[in-house]
Amino acid sequence: MELRVLAVGDVCGGSGLQLVQRQLRQLRREYRVDFCVVNGENASVVGITPRQADSLLEAGADVITLGNHSYNRREIADYLDDSRYILRPANDSPLYPGRGLGVYDTRAGQVTVINLIGRCNMAFGPDNPFLLAERLLKEVSTPFTLVDFHAEASSEKLAMGYHLDGRVSAVWGTHTHVPTADDQILPRGTGYVSDLGMTGPIHSVLGVRVEQSIATFRGGLSSRYETAPGPCKLEAVLFTLDSKTGRCIQTERIRYHDTTNACR
């Protein structure tokens, strides 16, 4: 028996959320997905609201992971404590609301999902994700373990992949919103990709209006980022896991383009 896990890249703004609502269940059927993890930390461009989290779960996400914008929408605080289906980075401050690890049932057995955040080039100093991962894995006894590593540097992500190789089923990177072409199975059987990409407007700078991003880099006064208009894409990776060993046996990059120009 196999477990087919779909990991969906950062959902950006209302248009990205709309695309997930329209297409995720169809993609689940098409690719025979058993379990789906969606990174939702940019559902409000920066942050996520309880209503948006509910929308992602209703659309077909089994678990939502977050990142450096976990708390930008402060109304999410109680939701993080109350819902076991949304995770924030486990190496954030223990004083923050929510949890960074969850255990969930699937047809092939239980799966543990761990959300971690990197430290390289980030604007704050969370706990060491490598040391925390080691401590967390001592508590894990499920057949499958999945890790969303929300980090800036591809070197840090790849190092984490090799650090956990053979100890978890899959490690994927989020945060940079650009899909990488390095999906692979590491030597000891862990599925890996440096970045899933994003779910949101195609003609944008990481989901944001192009003119806003250019103005920022030119040195102009910044304004609150807005989601770019136009057609959208959904980027993800499908990991196929062996139920006997928990190891990854196949990876497949998925990129769905909405050509209807319906995302606004």
- Helix H, strand E, coil C: the string for 47-63 is CCCHHHHHHHHHHCCCE
One of 69, 150, 175, 177 is an active-site residue; which one?
Answer: 69
CATH number of the domain within which 233 lies: 3.60.21.10
CA distance 88 to 96: 9
The distance from CA 218 to its chain's CA centroid, rounded to whole angstroms, is 30
- CA torsion angle for 76, 35, 55, 10 (degrees, to 10)? 70
CB 238 within 8 A of CB 33: yes
Write out pLDDT tens, residues 139-151: 999 999 999 999 9
Look at the chain and report how many structural domains it folds into: 1
Write out pLDDT tens, residues 106-117: 999 999 999 999
CA distance 177 to 198: 5
Residue 263 inside a domain? The answer is no
CB 229 within 8 A of CB 201: yes
Residue 182 inside a domain? The answer is yes
Residue 261 is predicted with a pLDDT of: 58
Task: Sort 137 into a burial class: Cβ within 10 Å, 0-12 / 13-18 / 19+.
Answer: middle
Residue 14 inside a domain? The answer is yes
Residue 113 inside a domain? The answer is yes
Whether pLDDT at 214 is above 90: no
CA distance 154 to 146: 18
Residue 209 is predicted with a pLDDT of: 84
* Residue span of the structural domain in which 218 resides: 2-258
Least confident of 37-46, 144-153, 209-218: 209-218
* Bridge-based pairing state of the strands 170-174 and 184-185: unpaired
Spatial CB neighbours of 184, under 8 Å, sequence gap ≥ 6 = 191, 192, 193, 251
Residue 79 is predicted with a pLDDT of: 98
Q: Which two tokens stand for residue 162?
A: 């090799």
Closest listed residue to residue 82, CA positions, set 107, 106, 54: 54
CA distance 18 to 250: 29
Mean pLDDT (the chain, rounded): 94
Residue 219 is predicted with a pLDDT of: 87
Residue 175 bears catalytic tag: no
Residue 190 is predicted with a pLDDT of: 98
Rounded mean pLDDT of 236-260? 95
Whether pLDDT at 69 is above 70: yes
Residue 263 is predicted with a pLDDT of: 52
